[in-house]
Structure 1
Amino acid sequence: MKQYYFNLNISYHDYLAHYTGYAFSILVVTDERLKLQVPASRFRPFLTQLGLRGRFRLITDQNNKFIRLESL
């Protein structure tokens, strides 16, 4: 398994672009400076009235297939 750590600070308004069909994924930059494109729908459980804020961990398998996303 691979683990990627990153911070997000996306307003609620900006995240709503996903629902209008404008944005299907979120580009994140990990602590190791890797750029990862994650489907915006994976962040839905973490959306609040403030948007997406905080520290996250993305876990993938050896083939970079999504396993889970966690809020830390």
Structure 2
Amino acid sequence: MDIFFSLNVSYDAFLPYYQGVAEKVQVRDHQGRVLHINGKYFRPYLTPQGINGRFKLVLNSDGSFKSLNKL
């Protein structure tokens, strides 16, 4: 299953997720569903400006995480 969403968060706002202090990032996909994604999956996309862009979350058939890609 592929889920598409956009995320715009500043570096300072994302820092607790990067450090592991906070765990789940809440996003709303393009169909309006609210998702809770482990912050560790966003670490490769963190820049000094934060995390900004469109993403594709891919889930396995059992609903578990498969991949997260920036589009």
Give the residue type in structure 1 aligned to 2:48: Q
* Aligned-partner SS, 1:15: helix
Identity of aligned residues (%): 31
Pairs within 5 Å for 1:1-72? 2-18=1-17, 19=19, 21=21, 23-72=22-71
8 Å CA contact 2:2–2:57 kept in 1: the answer is: yes
* Aligned-partner SS, 2:32: coil
User: Which segments of 5 or more consecutive residues in structure 1 lack a partner in the other structure?
Assistant: none
- Cα 1:20–1:58 change in 2 (3 A) is closer
TM-score (norm 1): 0.92
Distance 1:25 1:37 in 2: 5
* Aligned-partner SS, 1:33: coil
Aligned-pair Cα RMSD in Å: 1.0
Distance 2:56 2:44 in 1: 14
**Cα distance, 1:47 vs structure 2:** 0.5
User: Which segments of 5 or more consecutive residues in structure 2 lack a partner in the other structure?
Assistant: none
TM-score (norm 2): 0.93
**Cα distance, 1:20 vs structure 2:** 6.0
* Count of equivalent residues: 70
* Aligned-partner SS, 2:47: coil
- Cα 1:20–1:61 change in 2 (3 A) is closer
